[in-house]
Structure formats: C-alpha cells, structure tokens
Structure 1
C-alpha cells in the first residue's frame, strides 16, 4: 500500500506521525482484521450459551445500546488518535471498537448453521481479495466514487426501513448492500494507500475495512439463510 501519493483527496498534513515500514503497516492492518474475526468467533460462542440468551431476552435494549455506544466511542477514539498520532489512544479505541462491534456482529450469526457460515465466509474472502486488489489497481476510480457510495448506502438503508415496516422481503436490498460494501472495501483499501504508514493510521484503516467486510459477510449469510428456509 501507499503507492499512489499525489492523487489522494485525503489531507495527509494533519496525520503526520512516526512512520513505520510499508510491510509492517500492511501486516498491522491484516493482523487487526484477523483479531476482529477472532473476537467475533468468541462472541458467537458466548451468544449461543443458553444463559446469555435468557439474559439477552430480558435486557436486549440495554445490551444493544451499550454495544452501539461502545462501537461509536471506539471509532471516535481512533479518529482522534489518528489526528494526534497517539498509539495508546488508537489501540484503546480499537479494543473498545472491536469488542463491541465484534460482539454485536456475532448476534447476527446466532441462527446460522456451520455450512452457511463457511459458504458466507468463503464468498466474503473472495470479494475482499478481489475488491482490495481493485482498490490498489484502480485508485483514480475509487477516489471518485465515495460520494456516490455514501449516497447509495443511505438510500438503501431508508428503503430497508420502509420495507421492514411493510413486511416485504429484503433479499434484493441484501444483494445491493453486498455490492455497495464490496465497493467500500475497494475505497478503504485505496484510502489506506493514501495516508502515511503509521500505527494509528493502520489501526483506523483496519477498523474501516473490518466494518466493510463484516457487512458483506452478514448480508451474504442473510441471503443464504433465506434461500435455505
């Protein structure tokens, strides 16, 4: 990563910090994404426990509220850490983010069986590799589509809310979300090449990519579950 300086819309001057090697920068991103999946796996084990399910049934609002606030708080900390190039703050934000977001993501896997999870994981891995490579190979394209992606995502979310209240099947919107977040994988991979290779930058980029990957994974899993029912 970091091969395409000069075409980035990202202002690097506010994100200067102690540089690390490109190899270490890429390794940190990959390692943190892997840790995210490990946390989600541990969360899947916890959420399948009968005692937790009983607790969740009576405290669903508080559990979801805490995890949501923790996820947002972690992202805010990591963003602030990137501005200040603070490694301790960055890692603290990542721990808070990955614990809460990984846990809440595991709730979406509770009802799925192992073959469906394996299929969704394989498809997600392929999409991640393909669109990650596209983000590196075609930086100018992904530099131009961020606004379109954000607008399209907002529109689809609003459509999903309407469909949910109308009781209409949302398989079509699942496919659209998969395509959008696959493009976000390319966009965030591109962004990772445009910031200086520092630890706080690597942590934030890994978190962004993990969010993209998990959205692709959960939507593919939802599509598979619907087709099996």
Structure 2
C-alpha cells in the first residue's frame, strides 16, 4: 500500500489541483483568485513572499511529522492489519477538502477560511506524501532536498524572467501530467521500473514551479492569495522531491 501511495498519490493531488485551478491560472475572469479589488488587506511584497515561504516550510514540517508517524511499528502493524486504510484514504479526501476551502477563500478573500484550509491541506497532504520516506536513509533525503531546493530556485527565477515561455508550455505540461499518471498506473500493475516516469515528472513539475512562481507575482499580495499560491508551489515541490528520492534510491 505504501508503495502505491508514495509517490503516485501526490500526482493525483496535483491533477486535481491543476484541473480545478485551470481557469484561474490561465487568467479567466471568474477564477477564484481575485486580481481586482480585494477585500483582504494587502501586504507588502516582502511580507507576502515571507508568508508563502513560511507556509511552504510548515508544509515540510507536516511531512516530517507524517514521516515519523508512518515509520513507527504501531503504524506498520496498522498497515498489516488493514486498520490504516481509513486513515490513508481519509487523509487523501481531506487534502482535497482543504484545497477546495483555499480556493473558496481566495475568491472571498477570507483570511480565516484560507488558513483553516491550509492547515487541513498541509497536515493531510504531508501525511500522504510521507509514505515510503522510511525506505531512504538521511543522507539520501538530504541530497534530494538540496537538489529540490536548487530546482525550485532556478525554475522560480526562470518563471519570473521568462513568463511567456511558461505560459505557452503550461497546457502541454498538464497533458503530460495526465498521460504520465495513466502510464504509471499501468506500469505499476505490470511491475515495470518507473525511472523514466520519475524524470518526466521532475521536468513537468519544474515547469509548474516556474509558472506558479510567476502567477504568484501577478495576484494582489493578500494572505488568502499567499496561502493558495503556497499550496500550489508546495504540491509542485513535493512531487519533484519524491521523484528525486526515487531516482537516488535506485542508485543506492
């Protein structure tokens, strides 16, 4: 079960995120992110960026807590007995609920609703994404984290510098994401190695990081918008991180 949930489950979360937010990311008028008059108080650009960074950091903290929980013997016994299945699938459903709440909060510019949504999203998505981390040693995890940080920095800067390029390839990336999920499910049942799909996922989500970083600079700097943008980037970063872990794990 853990092998199925990680790192495949975060792809389903990303697919839902991309499907639900396709209209707002592409700039349609009735999307949830308000780009006109905002009811929430606007922040300074520095505070806005700091808020997004802090929220992403909290997401990693939630993932770390989830990794600790899933590495315990009590959780292993729960998995063997099947008692953990309600927790596993409940976490996935709550992740979706949190994303819907954040989207609604961005539309209403509701600070309280956005924060509650992020707490639900980060805690449950962190748990879902943490499955399988116990299979890697600390040096491998550190290497994957450093590589992910470098990709995030480089593609974030590229997204701001060359926004039109990322706008053009965004739709292609979404199509590749959908195709990769279908191929990966087939390969999973066939028992075939997924090294190629790991590389594809890294490239696709590196592009999403660039695009989402650019989008974050185009919306009003309010806390609800910071929460929504942070959740988008967190999903991107986690998918890159897990796939780098997979590649490094095969080399060990």
Partner of 1:145, secondary structure, is helix
Offset at residue 97 of structure 1 (A):
0.2
2-side partners of 1:166 and 1:25: how far apart? 46
Deviations 1:75-131 (A, max 9, x none): 000000000000000000000000000111111312111111011111101101001
1:20 equivalent in structure 2: 43
Q: Note the C-alpha offset of 1:41.
A: 1.2
Instruction: Spell out, residue by residue over 1:186-213, the C-alpha distance to the aligned partner (whole angstroms, 9 max, x if none).
Output: 0110110111110000000001100000
**Other structure's SS at 1:41 match:** helix
Matches within 5 A, 1:51-70: 51-57=74-80, 58-70=82-94
What SS does the corresponding residue of 2:85 show, helix, strand or coil?
A: helix
Counterpart of 1:127 (choices 147, 151, 171) is 151
2:205 is matched with 181
SS at match of 1:76: helix
CA RMSD of aligned residues (A): 1.4
Pair 15,192 (structure 1): closer, same or farther in 2 beyond 3 Å: farther
CA displacement, residues 2-36 of structure 1 (integer Å, 9 cap, x when unaligned): xxxxxx73544467232111111100000001111
* Gap change, CA 1:112 and 1:179, over 3 Å in 2: same
Helix, strand or coil at the partner of 2:234? helix
Query: What aligned pairs does 1:190-201 form with structure 2 within 5 A after superposition?
Result: 190-201=214-225
Q: Which runs of 5+ in 1 are unaligned?
A: 1-7
**How many positions carry a matched residue from both structures?**
221
Is 188-197 or 89-98 further displaced after alignment? 188-197
CA-to-aligned-CA distance 1:118-155 (integer Å, 9 cap, x gap): 11111101101001111111111112222111011101
Distance 1:13 1:125, change over 3 A: closer
**In structure 2, distance between residues paired with 1:170 and 1:14:** 44
Residue 166 of structure 1 deviates from its aligned partner by 1.7
The corresponding residue for 2:55 is 32
Q: Secondary structure at the match of 1:197?
A: coil
Tell me, in whole angstroms, the C-alpha distance in 1 between the residues paired with 2:228 and 2:37. 12
Maintained 8 Å contact 2:35/2:220 = no
User: 1:110 aligns to what SS in structure 2?
Assistant: helix
TM-score (norm 2): 0.84
Residue of structure 1 equivalent to 2:128: 104
TM-score, normalising length from structure 1? 0.92
Secondary structure at the residue paired with 1:196?
coil
